[in-house]
Amino acid sequence: MKKVIISIFAVLVAITGFLLIPFKSTSQKMENTAYLRIHVRANSNTEEDQSVKYEIKDLLVGYLTPLLEDVQTVDQAKQVVSQNLENISNIATSFLKEKGFNYGANAKLNNEYFPTRSYEQLTLDSGYYDAIIVELGSASGNNWWCVVYPPLCFSEKTAGNEVVYSSVIAELIKRRNEK
């Protein structure tokens, strides 16, 4: 009897392992190509450069959110971003000049390595992802990154005179559940 139970257990483990291995590798490949990330690299790690990095991040997320609002696929998102790379660079460079910085910004689309990152209940595994890369000055400082498609960066909405913070992740999950 003991041999039968061990045999059944071994078969179940083998079947489970066989079913999960292809699923995991397929979902990993799909995950990496289903997202468009944004990566803002600060000029340096000085307090000023780090502070302006976050201000530019807010400007760019505010600029990109309405542009990508009706986008249905990552390919559409990349197309919209490609058409607006010069605007993205100009927004960041203009803001830097207004603030008195003597360096500009450069935006490009690139496929780059990102470490594992969690956004509330969603975790993106480490790997290569397409991303909007925004380099501020020498881009040698600490950076900030998020996901612009699907929109996983947090947004701020105004309802009358009241500010309401919403998680775009929660909205995305809600939309997918409604389908």
Residues 16-33 pLDDT 10s? 333 333 333 333 333 567
> Which residue in this structure is represented by tokens 């696929």?
73
Tokens of 152: 């996983």
Q: In what order do the strands lie in the sheet with 105-114?
A: 105-114, 127-136, 36-41, 143-149
Better pLDDT: 106 or 164: 106
Rounded to an integer, what distance in angstroms lies between the CA atom of residue 18 and that of residue 132? 37
Range 103-122 average pLDDT: 87
Per-residue b or e along 134-169, where b marks 16 or more CB atoms closer than 10 Å to that residue's CB: bbbbebebebbbbbbbbbbbeeeeeeeeeeeeeebb
Predicted confidence at residue 148, as pLDDT, reads: 84
* DSSP state at residue 115: -
- Parallel/antiparallel/unpaired status of strands 117-119 and 122-124: antiparallel
Cα 58 to Cα 97, 100, 155, 156, distances in angstroms: 17, 18, 9, 10
pTM for the predicted model, two decimal places: 0.68
Task: With CA atoms as reference, report the closest residue to 110 among 141, 92, 131, 125.
Answer: 131
Q: Is 83 exposed, middle or buried (0-12, 13-18, 19+ CB in 10 A)?
A: exposed
Tens of pLDDT along 164-175?
A: 334 444 444 444
Tokens of 122: 């969603």
CB 74 within 8 A of CB 32: no
Predicted confidence at residue 13, as pLDDT, reads: 37
Rounded to an integer, what distance in angstroms lies between the CA atom of residue 76 and that of residue 80? 6
Range 73-98 average pLDDT: 96
CB half-sphere exposure, 86, CA atoms < 13 A: 1
**Widest Cα–Cα separation across the chain:** 80
